[in-house]
């Protein structure tokens, strides 16, 4: 036929709904016309087992159309991403697997759009997240940052989407345990440690129950905690990237038993560790910066500012000053260039020490600012 084919997953096809594309078999022979309505689960399962394929160009065209017609609002998209992560993390026991796989497809499209159009705004939201629901927030942060880093590393699109799926489902077998540990002030118990050590394997088995067959996805979930692997076994490339992002985010996230570490401190600790891959650590620091968007900083002139955009170098972001040296709020946020000696960043300011309210839409929405930061 001369066309590139893309295999459909269970989450991309719905019963009692018209097919969005012509469907072919692996040899490119037409099986079903666009608009055909599948009525039975057995029919769908039989087709999926044999392999359902669509024109990859048509699929991409449909994705681009969705991106074009939906009014772009990075903050609304980030909120929608959070809802998807909640369904995967909290509500998954009440949803059939095919619906959860469809949620993953939606999650991927949102992250691809944010990375393409507004990565600084997305990192800003990541750093500003309310971590009271740690389980959902951590999944959202990890899935996004893994996807961002994999994209900047130049991984092929198919590989990026697979590592993103793995990051979004890495803790699927330990949601309750992670919730408990995030609130627990006492040391981890022997039983909890054992459960933590096995959650990668149990997550892989859970995904297999959902019908996931991709070996790279399953392996990444199983191996994302390398310390649980025995003998000479090494984690896969996808698992290794997820692990490094997971460790970094854990450092900058608050727990009941400790405060969050400042991003610059977390970055320094990651660089100094001997059990990490410098390639991945360097990619994380280079991509989001020593002072990521959403961080609060004290400038050399005494002003307190919020980072809004990554700079040309990791330690020289563009910031907006919020209050003067005396701590009094400025009338309007003022853009500062931290590459200038007068506005060099002197230190990180803890989030709970900043009393100024941030208007995200105003900060990013003005035409001049949005072009610069989107």
Distance of CA 121 to the CA centre of its chain: 13
One domain for residues 339 and 256: no
Q: Which of 265, 288, 311 is the endpoint of a domain?
A: 288
Q: How far is CA 64 from CA 80, 121, 263, in A?
A: 18, 21, 34
Reference 252, options 276, 226, 285, 223; nearest CA is: 285
One domain for residues 281 and 315: no
One domain for residues 228 and 330: no
DSSP codes, 50-108:
H--EEEHHHHHHHHHHHHHHSPP-HHHHHHHHHHHHHHHHTSGGGS-HHHHHHHHHHHH
Q: Which of 269, 288, 307 is the endpoint of a domain?
A: 288
One domain for residues 277 and 329: no
Block residue for tokens 């100024």: 356
One domain for residues 105 and 10: no
Domain count for the chain: 3
One domain for residues 60 and 95: no
One domain for residues 227 and 322: no
The pairing of beta strand 53-55 with beta strand 5-7: antiparallel
CATH number at residue 265: 1.10.3210.10
Q: What distance in Å separates the CA atoms of residue 142 and residue 114, rounded to the nearest whole number?
A: 15
One domain for residues 155 and 273: yes
One domain for residues 160 and 253: yes
One domain for residues 196 and 81: yes
Cβ-based neighbours of 191, under 8 Å, separated by 6 or more: none
Order of strands, sheet of 345-348, starting from the edge strand that comes earlier in the sequence: 329-337, 318-323, 304-309, 296-299, 345-348
Question: pLDDT of the chain along its 374 residues, tens only?
Answer: 468 888 888 777 777 777 888 899 988 889 988 888 887 888 888 888 888 999 888 888 777 665 554 457 889 899 999 999 988 887 667 778 888 888 898 899 999 999 998 999 999 999 999 888 888 899 999 999 999 999 999 999 999 999 999 999 998 887 776 777 666 777 778 878 777 778 889 999 999 998 899 999 999 999 998 888 777 788 999 999 999 999 999 899 877 667 789 998 998 999 898 888 999 999 999 898 889 999 999 999 999 999 998 888 888 998 999 999 888 988 888 888 898 899 999 999 988 888 888 888 777 764 244 334 33
Q: What is the pTM of this model?
A: 0.78
Q: Are 109 and 155 in contact (CB under 8 A)?
A: no
Structural domain of 144: 72-288
Q: How far is CA 32 from CA 11, 57, 285, 296, in A?
A: 18, 18, 48, 55
One domain for residues 45 and 99: no
Q: Which of 240, 265, 288 is the endpoint of a domain?
A: 288
**Partners of residue 319 on adjacent β-strands:** 307, 336
DSSP codes, 248-268:
HHHHTS-BTTBPPPPHHHHHH
> Tokens standing for 15?
């019963």
One domain for residues 96 and 62: no
């Amino acid at each position: 036929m001369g066309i590139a084919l893309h295999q459909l997953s269970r989450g991309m096809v719905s019963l009692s709904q018209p097919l969005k594309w012509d469907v072919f078999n692996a040899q490119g022979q037409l099986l079903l016309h666009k608009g055909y309505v599948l009525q039975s689960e057995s029919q769908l399962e039989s087709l999926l087992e044999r392999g359902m394929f669509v024109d990859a160009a048509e699929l991409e065209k449909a994705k681009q159309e969705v991106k074009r017609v939906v009014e772009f609002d990075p903050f609304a998209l980030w909120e929608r991403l959070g809802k998807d992560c909640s369904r995967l993390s909290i509500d998954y026991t009440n949803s059939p697997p095919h619906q959860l796989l469809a949620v993953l497809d939606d999650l991927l499209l949102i992250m691809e759009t944010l990375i393409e159009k507004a990565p600084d705004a997305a990192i800003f939201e990541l750093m500003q997240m309310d971590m009271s629901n740690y389980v959902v927030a951590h999944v959202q942060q990890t899935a996004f940052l893994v996807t961002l880093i994999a994209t900047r590393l130049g991984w092929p699109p198919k590989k990026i989407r697979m590592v993103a799926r793995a990051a979004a489902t890495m803790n699927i077998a330990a949601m309750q345990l992670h919730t408990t540990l995030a609130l627990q002030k006492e040391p981890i118990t022997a039983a909890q440690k054992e459960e933590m050590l096995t959650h990668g394997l149990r997550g892989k088995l859970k995904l297999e129950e959902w019908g996931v067959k991709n070996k790279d996805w399953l392996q990444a979930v199983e191996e994302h905690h390398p310390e649980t692997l025995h003998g000479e076994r090494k984690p896969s490339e996808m698992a290794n990237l997820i692990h490094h992002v997971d460790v970094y985010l854990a450092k900058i996230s608050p727990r009941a038993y400790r405060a969050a570490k400042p991003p610059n401190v977390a970055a320094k600790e990651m660089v100094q560790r001997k059990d990490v891959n410098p390639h991945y650590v360097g990619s994380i620091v280079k991509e989001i910066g020593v002072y990521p968007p959403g961080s609060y900083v004290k400038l050399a002139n005494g002003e307190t500012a919020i980072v809004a955009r990554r700079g040309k170098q990791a330690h020289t972001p563009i910031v907006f000053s919020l209050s003067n040296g005396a701590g009094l709020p400025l009338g309007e946020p003022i853009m500062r260039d931290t590459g200038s000696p007068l506005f060099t960043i002197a230190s990180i300011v803890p989030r709970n020490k900043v009393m100024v309210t941030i208007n995200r839409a105003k900060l990013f929405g003005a035409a001049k600012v949005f072009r610069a930061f989107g």
